[in-house]
């Protein structure tokens, strides 16, 4: 049976190796995405003007005036002096032809004091540049930069989510293969000589630094995976749950436990390639959400509002503008306001709801490591690099054994 599991681990590992190397290294960088982005694009993200802040709607008007062919899908509400406000935009279809113009960008940054546009970028561009490095890496990490085709842009997410589920299974196979070989009951003297099961498992946790290249590579693969095995399983599982949230994770959770569905789970999106027309304005939705937040006792101010056009509601987020994720990565709350009639359709409040609801909420904080704050981000960067190391050392083990088998076969002939 052990031989079978060895073959299973070998071939799953070979299939996953390239993808996990990419995901591990990009994940290690993305743990510090905001800091790196601010360093690379300080001229766009840091603003010089000082003084009274304009309102988000005034800034939105400036963005709209700069390009009438664009419409806003997201606007920053938590404005901070010295930091550019972010506005996400998409092409506005021509009423006469129904065709959407090519804007060349999807994000606009604005000085919240002066109202001047500090820069633009296309976060969905396939071309890599300094401006879009961090969005580019995030899309590569999550979906392999897969474009929209056959009516959906979810192909890359589905593919990476499926690989993550395979990774979860292989992690348990890998753990099994580190266990010591079961001794025969007919050999009591041998059992007494080598010691208990735990004592025989201990070498799997060690790295023989002076044992030569082959032993070092093998030990890094085996012991490296053991020391962070629990973290790897968490990362693998949350990769699956985040990428296949609507398709698999949430439906299964709702079947096996009690969940509180929100509008994303209960409402159907518009057909691919079409956008809904809101009957409620951004300003009205913001006012309704702020009133509801006050009634519910939200501690944080409104930080942003999203109108995707695919679902008939606005998503208004409440968070500290200086720390969007907040304590343990659970500092963001949401209120959903109908774009048809202004009705409050639901809320998302961290640490509220059933046990299953909280488990669902924890997926991103666990995956990003932000549940442990800065130490968690450091840990995830380390684990990301280690995942790449485990993948590469696994391929080297396979290649060396394959070469050895070929040499034996050649010598036999």
- Tell me the per-residue pLDDT of 194-246, one tens digit each, with 9 for 90 and over: 568 888 899 999 999 988 898 999 999 999 999 999 999 999 999 999 999 99
pLDDT at 56 over 90: yes
Q: pLDDT per residue over 349-408, tens digit each?
A: 999 999 999 999 999 999 999 999 999 999 999 999 999 999 999 999 999 988 888 888
Percent of the chain with pLDDT over 70: 96
Residues 159, 402: Cα–Cα separation, whole Å:
29
Tell me if the pTM is above 0.75: yes
Instruction: For residue 369, give the nearest of 135, 137, 32, 31 by alpha carbon.
Output: 31
Output the pLDDT for position 189.
57
Which helix or strand (DSSP H or E) is residue 179 part of?
A: none
Query: Which three-class secondary structure state does DSSP give residue 74?
Result: strand
Q: Exposed, middle or buried, 271 (CB in 10 Å: 0-12/13-18/19+)?
A: exposed
Give the pLDDT band (50/70/90) at residue 184: low
DSSP state of 16: H
413 versus 258: which is more confidently predicted?
258
For 64-90, what is the mean pLDDT? 94
Q: Is the pLDDT of residue 316 over 80?
A: yes
Between CA 190 and CA 322 the distance in angstroms is 63
Quick: pLDDT tens for 294-309.
999 999 999 999 999 9
Alpha helices in 244-336 (DSSP H): 250-256, 263-266, 282-296
pLDDT surpasses 90 at 273: no
- pLDDT of 100 strictly over 60: yes
Segment among 1-10, 183-192, 215-224 with least mean pLDDT: 183-192
97: pLDDT strictly greater than 80: no
pLDDT for the residue numbered 144? 93
Write down the pLDDT at residue 187: 57
The mean pLDDT of the chain is 91
Alpha carbons within 13 angstroms on the beta-carbon side of residue 137 total 20
pLDDT value for 194: 57
* 16, pLDDT greater than 90: yes
- Taking the C-alpha atoms of residue 264 and residue 159, their distance in angstroms, rounded to an integer, is 22
pLDDT at 185: 63
Separation CA 179–CA 198 (nearest Å) = 9
Report the C-alpha gap between 361 and 20 in whole angstroms.
Answer: 25
Does pLDDT of 27 surpass 80?
yes
Q: Say yes or no to pLDDT of 329 above 90.
A: no
């Amino acid at each position: 049976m052990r031989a079978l599991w060895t073959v299973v681990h070998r071939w799953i590992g070979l299939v996953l190796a390239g993808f996990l190397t990419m995901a591990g290294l990009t994940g290690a960088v993305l743990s510090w995405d905001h800091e790196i982005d601010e360093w690379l694009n300080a001229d766009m993200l840091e603003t010089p003007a000082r003084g009274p802040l304009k309102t988000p709607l005034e800034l939105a008007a400036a963005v709209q005036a700069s390009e009438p062919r664009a419409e806003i899908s997201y606007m920053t509400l938590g404005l901070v002096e010295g930091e550019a406000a972010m506005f996400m935009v998409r092409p506005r279809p021509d009423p006469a032809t129904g065709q959407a113009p090519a804007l060349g960008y999807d994000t606009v940054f604005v000085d919240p004091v002066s109202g001047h546009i500090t820069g633009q970028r296309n976060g969905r561009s396939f071309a890599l540049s300094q401006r879009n490095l961090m969005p580019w890496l995030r899309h590569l990490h999550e979906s392999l930069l897969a474009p929209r085709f056959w009516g959906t842009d979810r192909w890359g997410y589905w593919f990476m989510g499926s690989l993550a589920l395979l990774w979860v299974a292989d992690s348990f196979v890998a753990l099994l293969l580190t266990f010591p070989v079961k001794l025969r009951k007919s050999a009591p003297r041998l059992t007494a000589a080598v010691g208990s099961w735990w004592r025989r498992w201990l070498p799997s946790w060690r790295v023989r630094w002076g044992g030569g290249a082959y032993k070092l590579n093998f030990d890094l693969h085996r012991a490296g995976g053991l020391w962070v095995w629990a973290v790897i399983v968490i990362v693998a599982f949350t990769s699956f749950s985040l990428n296949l949230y609507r398709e698999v994770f949430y439906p299964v959770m709702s079947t096996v436990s009690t969940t509180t569905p929100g509008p994303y789970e209960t409402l159907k999106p518009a057909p691919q390639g079409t956008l809904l027309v809101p009957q409620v304005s951004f300003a009205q939705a913001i006012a309704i959400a702020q009133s509801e937040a006050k009634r519910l006792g939200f501690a944080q101010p409104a930080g942003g509002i999203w109108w995707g056009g695919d679902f008939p509601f606005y998503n208004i987020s409440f968070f500290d503008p200086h720390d969007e994720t907040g304590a343990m990565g659970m500092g963001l709350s949401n209120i959903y306001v109908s774009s048809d009639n202004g009705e409050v359709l639901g809320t998302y409040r961290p640490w509220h709801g059933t046990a299953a609801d909280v488990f669902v909420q924890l997926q991103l904080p666990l995956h990003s490591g932000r549940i442990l704050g800065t130490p968690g981000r450091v840990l995830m960067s380390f684990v990301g690099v280690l995942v790449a190391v485990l993948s590469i050392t696994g391929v080297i083990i396979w290649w060396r054994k394959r070469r050895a088998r070929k040499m034996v076969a050649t010598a036999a002939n």
